[in-house]
Amino acid sequence: MDPIRSRWLEVARCPACDAGERRDRGAIPERCYPFGGERVPTPAHGIRLFECAACGLAYKSPLPDAAFLAAIFERQLGAKWMAAHDYAAEVAALRRTAGRDAFDLLDIGAAGGDLLAACAAAGVAGLRSALDVLRYPGLERALNGEFIEGVLDSASLAWSGHRYHVVTAFDVFEHLHRPRNAFANLRALLAPGGFVLIESGDSQSAWPRRFGTRRWWYARLIEHHIFWSREPLERCAAVHGFELVQWRRLRHKSRRQLGAAAIARDLAKSALYHVAPDSYAGWAALLGKEGNQPCSPFARDHFRACLRRR
């Protein structure tokens, strides 16, 4: 069997609701996934995007298998997900959600621990724990609790058994293979009445709807597998005893703190893409660039959802 192709897994049913009926939304244009310093070829038959006819979740097929993807992550450790970010607004949101300044927090996908460090610097009391697939450099400075090694959608997540008041999952839900496992684990990790805050891409927002989800910059990343909107998230959460208490669209966190020069650069790229999306890749290639869809500095193509455990 082809060693590259054998590392890709076909997805025949909706990962969120298990429905088999789906709408084919076309192929991802790129035939190679860039990740850190690597370029990973896609399978010969390409990557297609589907939309579940029952719940509306968008998902890709085929996907890299867990071992293949983990090996890529390990090779690029320290090169990805280490960009600094000011989490002051997120800390304020956590305080509003918890309704107090002392609460036990678990950050899923904590990477270098910037959110936990921001909570500590802001005087938030309580445990500060992390769950991630790898123990990233810098995490120890902010950790005041346990480190849970693994993935949120594991079938057998091992941790202390402590239940948290608030769980954060920022830029995590697009990585899931098994959302139903993820929600079951969230329910176990949270105390009754506890909250989970989720940020992820919104497949029903204006930017992907304008150009098609298959061309969305967010969908052409090797580590992004599924793409939520309000309906599938609310439906999947309800099955596991969660209620949606807040939903709002917002920009990706990397777009919220851009300087004037970066905004001007991204606006120019986005304007060019608006005018000629089919020619954009060719023009970019002439300049030695990847030519994937640019990310508008003002596109509210993400959401923040707050779920409460009943």
Q: What pLDDT sits at residue 80?
A: 66
CA nearest 244: which of 304, 165, 189? 304
pTM for this entry: 0.92
Q: What is the dihedral of CA 284, 258, 199, 76, to 10 degrees?
A: 60
Residues 130 and 248 in one domain: yes
Count of the separate structural domains present in the chain: 2
Q: Chain-centre distance of CA 25, in angstroms?
A: 20
Instruction: Read off the CATH number of the domain in which 187 is found.
Output: 3.40.50.150
Give the integer Cα–Cα distance in Å for 21 and 23.
Answer: 7
CA nearest 153: which of 134, 136, 175, 168? 175
Q: pLDDT of 209-255, one tens digit each?
A: 999 999 999 999 999 999 999 999 999 999 999 999 999 999 998 88
Structure token pair of residue 168: 């954060």
Residues 202 and 127 in one domain: yes
Residues 237 and 133 in one domain: yes
Partner residues linked to 108 by β-bridges: 131, 169
Quick check: is 239 in a domain? yes
Residues 46 and 118 in one domain: no
* Cis preceding linkage at 179, omega within 30: no
Buried-state track 114-125, b at ≥16 Cβ within 10 A, e below 16:
bbbbbbbeeebe
Domain boundary among 45, 75, 105: 75
User: Domain containing 127: what range?
Assistant: 88-255+299-309
CA nearest 108: which of 175, 202, 160? 175
Residues 173 and 48 in one domain: no
pLDDT in tens, the chain (310 residues): 344 445 899 999 999 999 999 999 999 988 889 888 888 999 999 999 999 999 999 999 999 998 888 888 888 776 665 667 889 999 999 999 999 999 999 999 998 999 999 999 999 999 999 999 888 888 999 999 999 999 999 999 999 999 999 999 999 999 999 999 999 999 999 999 999 999 999 999 999 999 999 999 999 999 999 999 999 999 999 999 999 999 999 999 888 888 999 999 999 999 989 888 888 888 877 777 777 888 889 999 999 999 999 9
Q: What pLDDT sits at residue 35?
A: 86
Residues 71 and 193 in one domain: no
Q: Which residues, at least 6 apart from 51, have a Cβ–Cβ distance to it below 8 Å?
A: 22, 23, 25, 57, 58, 213
Q: What is the dihedral of CA 213, 55, 65, 140, to 10 degrees?
A: 90
Quick check: is 268 in a domain? no
CA nearest 77: which of 110, 109, 111? 111
Residues 68 and 96 in one domain: no
Quick check: is 21 in a domain? yes
Residues 198 and 305 in one domain: yes
Q: Which residues, at least 6 apart from 160, have a Cβ–Cβ distance to it below 8 Å?
A: 146
Q: What pLDDT sits at residue 81?
A: 59
Half-sphere exposure of 87 (CA within 13 A, CB side): 22
Type of residue at 208: P
Residues 196 and 141 in one domain: yes
Residues 68 and 93 in one domain: no
Q: What pLDDT sits at residue 115?
A: 96
Residues 43 and 11 in one domain: yes
Give the chain's end-to-end CA distance (angstroms, integer): 48
